[in-house]
Structure 1
Amino acid sequence: MKNKSDFDLFFDLNFNSLNQTGFEQWFATMAACVYGGDFELIKAGGPKGDKKSDGRRLSTETIFQCYAPESPAKFASNAATRMADSFPEVVEFWPTMRVWHFVHNNDGGLPTSASDKIEELRKAYPSIKFLSGSRRFLKDELHDKLSLQQLIHLYPKAALNIEGVQMEHIRPLLKRIITERGKQFGSTEFGEIPDRAKLEFNRLSEASKFDIRRARSNVDVVGRFLDGQSNPAAVSVIQSAMREKYLQLVDLGYDPDDIFFKLCDYVRNTATSEEVAASHVIITYFFDSCDVFENVPVS
């Protein structure tokens, strides 16, 4: 990725999928990059925890508080109560606070109950300025002000050149599996038609689904490698190895996201960015060809 606008997909993914601690960490990382030494992050610990702060901007005496529950419904029902319960402690911990900034993941804005609660707080604490911000604040005031290098640091996977995966990257990884497993494969049966609901059925996270959708742009490289095998048994060797490894990971109790990334690790020889990108493309191919992960049962 060469342009800052290329990272908008990653912003949308994080805003739409991160909640609770993940959302707070994402916000704090961006704020620290934009505000530099003017931003102070309070690490939770001891009887005071994080002092009801997800970050403090020193020059403006702004205290940021994040609230990012798992769903809009939970936000609507709990946001006002969360403000009412936590704000007296915020004032106690930060007596010099001039601005309280409520950062949240509810893209539709504040529900009436939360808006009313902020109005109550404004009247009760007239010396404090109350702000709330969501997608536009995070995008315009933080994300879009990051440098290209900071964006790469924030989103390590963006450095993976999925579109640049070529046969030279795929061939040695799959050849190794053929060589190592050629004499071991059994009679595992495989599905043929990928189901559109397969991503949802396998309970993959939004981040993993994003990785798979992104890698789909280049799975034809794997298909061309398999079609070019002079010995048809070589394809069965790879299919069998993938399915066996998948079932092994399931039996060990790994969750779907861990399984996806451990399958990627399985096909890699090294941890170079080229091989990491190639491994994502390979596993996505076998995901769509129904050799790994489960298909939606036919009702």
Structure 2
Amino acid sequence: MAGAIAYISGESDRLAWKTLLEAGLGTIDFRTLNDGLGNIDEIEVALAWNPKPGLLSMFTNMKMIVSLGMGVDHLLTDDKLPQDVPITRIMDDGLVGQMSEYAIYWALRHHSDIDKYEASQRNKTWKPERFVDTIERRVGVMGFGTIGQDTARKFAALGFPTAGWSRTAKTLSGIETFHGPDGFAQFLARTDILVDVLPLTRDTMGLLDAKAFAGLPRGAYFINMARGGHVVDSDLLAALDSGHLSGAALDVFSTEPLPTDHRFWTHPRVRVTPHIAGATNPRTAAPGVIENIRRLRAGQALINTVDPKTGY
């Protein structure tokens, strides 16, 4: 008999996941924390999002961990994470679409001076702002995996000169690409709207500091829908206060929920959203999970595996 599947995440989606997995796999032994995990030695697969540290190490016969998000840093921070159990992540076309929509919304809002027009409306002032052609507004996407490439393609389709930056060299038709430390400064210098979709790793922690923000053209705009740990908050605030950056749309933060006394809440050039840029959609994420469970049970190679050393 196949082993149990443990769902370690928010309870709101548990019935959707159970229904979708059973539609693809047949009857399954599906367990949740709230309903009770039963004999944990029977657990074969864990579907997890931000589990309590040490919890997954208790499942001694587990054969696969599935991150219920496209990022896996929430798992890799657990120093008791089983080292011999493969980690896979979801590949969710629905989530990818949400992320690109989030970036495009804030970029277009900035590009079209909507904040200024809202202020004019409050003051009952009729004041057209200077027109800026899309060809003059260069978009740069940090992180060039599935989400980054989808986002870059959509910006390019809208007419924005678009570039991508990644740790290693990548190519994408119609998109200028940069990579590695040597390409980072060049990438920033040509970017008027910076979009962050990097994974959080040892190498990317604190990458966006005073030097990085100073490397952007004056008046640049910053959109972070990746991880708050990439940003040195005090350096971002200093760049905003000085006017070097014209604004920022932030969906992720080093501490979540964002503390009520943090200046991001009240800064006039910052827009805050509560980590909603991309939510896992069970309907679009389940097929890949089902495929991996089938492969696991058939002794075949898994897809969408993660290298714990690189974090993706």
Larger proportion of strand: 2
Name the TM-score class by shorter chain: under 0.3
TM-score norm. by structure 2 comes to 0.27
Larger proportion of helix: 1
Flag the structure with larger Rg: 1
